[in-house]
Amino acid sequence: MNSSGDIVSFKYNKMKKSKTERKESVKHIVVDQIENKLNDSHTQKLTNSDAEQLTDQAIELLHQLIVTPSFSSEEDKTALLIENWFVEYDIPFERENNNIWAYNKYFDASKRTILLNSHHDTVKPNGNYTNDPFKAFVEDGKLYGLGSNDAGGCLVSLIATFTYFYNRKDLKYNFVIVASAEEESSGPLGLKSVLKYLKNVEFAIVGEPTLMQLAVAEKGLLVLDVSIKGTASHAAHPNDDNAIYNAVKVMQWFEAYEFEKESKTLGNVKMTVTQINAGNQHNVVPSHCDVVVDIRVNDAYRNEEVVEIVKKAMPDHVEVRPRSLHLGSSSIPMDHPIVKSGINLGRTTYGSPTLSDQSVLSCPSLKLGPGDSTRSHAANEFIYVEEIGEGIDLYIKILEGIV
């Protein structure tokens, strides 16, 4: 902290002003209960950013995020809660749509930047919920509520970690934190849409529940629409160009083909035919048969390469259309300093089969966060309150190892 009186009073005035502004902007939107809690808890602790205090504040923020619905592309109210955090800690931030980002105080353009990211949108609650998904309550050490585990716990832990490092002058890296939207829907206004504003990012930590183990690689997802052509005819007549029979051969290829390059952490590329559609009358041989192929791509291939390999293998009467190419695999080298730092702290490494916002990043990225991915999208979602404290503690220690 700076000890100059001028700066302190300047900061104090700025704080007062921004707090008033905040009140104006959120008054009608955020429920009174949240407003009161913010006034009670955050303001007293503005000057104290030690890890324990930050943990309490992070858990408080998580409560608020849970009780505030934030389905993908409807995250405006949780975005305000996150803005409030930065206002209360006097941290300048930027926002576009429902994405909010902030840099460390002593940002230095000559240094590389560590991106900390997690999302504040949630899926819709499934039909098996017996709790109110928007009620945040603690029972047996578990904090229940929609988005508690995916990815609220990770997000508040990363925000607390960022705040912990925010005022530090002696850092080797810059930090930027992005609380992003539209992760669950892979929507256009999520992390991908703000990457262009982020300066000099060297690598990223993406907060998703991994039990605080190091997910050093993540499979990408590629979906192909494959249309196999044939010759339409009356079923009573001879026809040696039946699209459905042609499709059988194509599907057998998808079943049998093995991609050459394996990945140590993610194994092979996995292709699965998951949908098939052809014909609408018993006596008509259809002109085409359409299949959908789900491909989980390892970090040895880019999605574009996989599409090329498939297209080359297909005969002329087969059309292959990728739905999108942007959900690529991701990884971080095992000898990357952040991975080494985690391993030194007793963390294990693994390859993750699930997809996260890592897929839109072109820099190396590590998936790491409190909570358990098997609780995500499940009924009566929860995170252990203790996991938040452990998460913040470990994030800080792993980062201390390199900054």
Site residues, Zn ion (CB under 5 A): 150-151, 208
Least distance (Å) between residue 179 CB and Zn ion: 13
Least distance (Å) between residue 384 CB and Zn ion: 17
- Would you say 151 or 228 has its CB closer to Zn ion? 151
Least distance (Å) between residue 151 CB and Zn ion: 4
Least distance (Å) between residue 143 CB and Zn ion: 16
In the beta sheet, which residues pair with residue 267? 263
Q: What angle do CA 390, 391, 397 make, to 5 degrees?
A: 90
**How far is residue 217's CA from residue 31's CA, in Å, rounded to a whole number?**
40
Residue 346 neighbours by CB under 8 Å, 6+ apart: none
In the beta sheet, which residues pair with residue 163? none
- Would you say 55 or 148 has its CB closer to Zn ion? 148
- Would you say 88 or 208 has its CB closer to Zn ion? 208
- Would you say 293 or 327 has its CB closer to Zn ion? 327
**Rounded to 5, what percent of the chain is helix, strand, coil?**
35, 25, 40
**How far is residue 242's CA from residue 231's CA, in Å, rounded to a whole number?**
6
The stretches of 320-384 forming alpha helices (DSSP H) are: 337-344
Q: Is the distance from CB of 154 to CB of 215 less than 8 angstroms?
A: no
- Would you say 269 or 355 has its CB closer to Zn ion? 355
**What is the total residue count of the chain?**
403
- Would you say 120 or 142 has its CB closer to Zn ion? 120
**How far is residue 325's CA from residue 322's CA, in Å, rounded to a whole number?**
7
**How far is residue 106's CA from residue 257's CA, in Å, rounded to a whole number?**
52
Least distance (Å) between residue 181 CB and Zn ion: 12
Least distance (Å) between residue 284 CB and Zn ion: 46
Report which of 134, 120, 160 is spatially closest to residue 66, judged by C-alpha positions: 134
